[in-house]
Structure 1
């Protein structure tokens, strides 16, 4: 962090803050907790996995539909941080509410989870767009990679606290039930997210913007449609977005549904938590490595490497049977997960006009979020149709192949 200025550090710390949500709510404790609640409600394993996938698809669709126009409005001076604060409040509030949902109500639990996803995803639109305000084009790969790397380390701290609480509960050392222990982890997550977002709120401001106009909403729609009308003038940007649409779909689906898959394989809750914790420690150095290698090889080649790694992961995921197999799979995911996300963000940030960064990052997020609808939906449908989650994971290869093909059409220079 010594090489980063105050604004870059404050921006990168938000990855440290919100990655606790990604780890605990999206990837580990909540999915496992939901499985136990769903089982108590009489749901089959495959149906609960499918219901989880449908919830992710529905909630991300809301943000996807709003992203471009919100981004266009946020390009006006002073609006970027206002929208950031709005979605941030929704995310933290509903993450807190997860701790107060009755243990026998899986539908209400999924309802609140959907709103946490809306808040988390909506906030990221404006967080990503702030990258152009805090960093130069030459430093974006480094700063973006440091942000993701900080996220992987930062998320492990509240996560390890959560593991300790769960273990002490299971051993009857803490006089609380396992469901109550899970609820405490949700509270810890929301507090962590809140505290470490403060530096961004204090030190990061919108530098590149469009001057305020009368009828900003109406004119934002006009600017949005004008951009779409002139796609040929932004051909390279939209070619990348189509590539991103496919490969990030596969990435996000694997992140969001990994624990459900592990549970379906019969891996215990504690084993899953430990494996996913180790994944964070693997992801930390590999994310920084991606950032450093991109300075020598270029971002596009690093994206190729990430896509190839995930394709292999899908094939291997079809054959895994034991906790050791799942551990190997998780380590492979850790080696590429942060790198492909960080380089995608900075690669796109270098391409867009800075004063319209929110508008273009709105497109970036709508492509990413609409993609996040298709992946879980694909896994859910294939899983329900075949009764085997492994078939759903294997089907994700299609997305990585399509992403690779589209990326070859992008002119990095």
Structure 2
């Protein structure tokens, strides 16, 4: 197909066999990049980058990037925050450019390999090179966000409306599978580094770099399988460029208020999900007094059970619809937080039970949210709108940590902080329940599936 060919952007433009081939390729991008989130961001980089910053700190515990005094322990969260800002700026622009040209794949490749290269470069993070570590983290974290926005935008193009819940769930399952597999391999190296003849720091750097190599290698599969769809010239997607395109995207979304209503609901409850995941280890170590090995085992348990949870909730959605299934998962999230509030200290078994519950609903709630949103996106605006979705997923998830931090600051109790997050799931439940999803699908100009 050449660039001048106009083809429907929907899945009907190819045969069933071609669609299945693309779907199988699409799953493998989750398989490729999820190891970054699991091994790098969740497990290894935070503590290691902090140790590097502390090695470079002065006697009072401060480093001085650009002459600004920063506590060594704040380098990692500040770098994550900067990466979020960068991602928010780049995602809508990349999405709009991809839609305008009908060529998502080159943008996906660029974002994926910039991120994979930055992650692989973390092998050189040693000594006092905290600025290098912060820079690589900013690049990698922004890149994975941009690439996921473009990756998600393929969903309405490779799956018929009635199969999107299952396809999205399989993608998440692939991601959790690879995250668990690579984390197990990394933990074998980390825990047995002496027997492998390397230091603890070198083992960590190998684990970080291996995630980048994995990300880059497996990205070849979706790049070979996915197809670009050309778009007709002169449409709305061709209006503006750069910042003008960002403004045009936001204005265009105002024409679809029901889609925006879903995004608002998703923003609220997903902020709660992301905060629980990011703060669970702090709660486990500081409030419950659990060891690092216990916390890492819990992360593995979440990864493994999230695979089954994503697939199981995908099946539930076929019977009850994605909206009802997501609402049910939000009720379970609320129960999890209440149970976490009463969790006894020094009891790893009960912490594992809580981790198992989180894993069961984590993958499914994320997968079904993605597939439900895909029905609410106007044809030809996939990358643009999924950039906004990805911004809701990553770029605006600051309110939950703020509430968690303020609750701890005011009460001095992590138990009060964790229970404060219930508000996100309750409000998100109410907002999602009020969205008439069938009308929203029709308003976006898409066919309404039998179950939604």
Give the structure-2-normalised TM-score: 0.81
1:250 and 1:400 in contact (8 A); partners too = yes
1:57 and 1:374 in contact (8 A); partners too = no
Q: Where is the helix percentage greater, Structure 1 or Structure 2?
A: 1
Matches within 5 A, 1:11-410: 11-34=26-49, 52-106=76-130, 108-169=132-193, 172-207=194-229, 209-211=231-233, 218=240, 225=247, 228-229=250-251, 231=253, 233-264=255-286, 265-320=288-343, 321-322=345-346, 323-383=348-408, 386-410=411-435
Higher mean displacement: 109-118 or 48-57 = 48-57
Pair member with larger Rg: 2
Q: Once the 2 structures are TM-superposed, how far is the Cα of residue 68 of structure 1 from its aligned partner?
A: 2.5
Q: Once the 2 structures are TM-superposed, how far is the Cα of residue 256 of structure 1 from its aligned partner?
A: 3.0
Give the structure, 1 or 2, with the largest relative contact order (CA under 8 Å, sep 6 or more).
1
1:140 and 1:346 in contact (8 A); partners too = yes
The 1:253/1:51 distance shift into structure 2, 3 A limit, reads: farther
Q: Once the 2 structures are TM-superposed, how far is the Cα of residue 374 of structure 1 from its aligned partner?
A: 2.4
Equivalent residues, number = 408
The 1:175/1:222 distance shift into structure 2, 3 A limit, reads: closer
The 1:196/1:305 distance shift into structure 2, 3 A limit, reads: same
CA distance in 2: counterparts of 1:123 and 1:18, whole angstroms: 9
CA distance in 2: counterparts of 1:384 and 1:49, whole angstroms: 18
2:84 and 2:394 in contact (8 A); partners too = yes
CA distance in 2: counterparts of 1:384 and 1:159, whole angstroms: 33
2:176 and 2:303 in contact (8 A); partners too = yes
CA distance in 2: counterparts of 1:230 and 1:215, whole angstroms: 10
Q: Once the 2 structures are TM-superposed, how far is the Cα of residue 205 of structure 1 from its aligned partner?
A: 1.9
Higher mean displacement: 139-148 or 399-408 = 399-408
Aligned to 2:20: 5
Aligned-CA RMSD value: 3.0
CA distance in 2: counterparts of 1:369 and 1:362, whole angstroms: 10
CA distance in 2: counterparts of 1:164 and 1:373, whole angstroms: 34
CA distance in 2: counterparts of 1:333 and 1:252, whole angstroms: 12
- Provide structure 2 residue ranges, at least 5 long, that are not aligned to the other structure: 1-16, 63-70, 439-452
CA distance in 2: counterparts of 1:375 and 1:108, whole angstroms: 29
CA distance in 2: counterparts of 1:211 and 1:387, whole angstroms: 59
Higher mean displacement: 223-232 or 241-250 = 223-232
1:129 and 1:361 in contact (8 A); partners too = yes
The 1:147/1:82 distance shift into structure 2, 3 A limit, reads: same
- Provide structure 1 residue ranges, at least 5 long, that are not aligned to the other structure: none
Q: Deviations over 1:73-101 (max 9, x none)?
A: 21023431222122212211221122211
The 1:212/1:324 distance shift into structure 2, 3 A limit, reads: farther
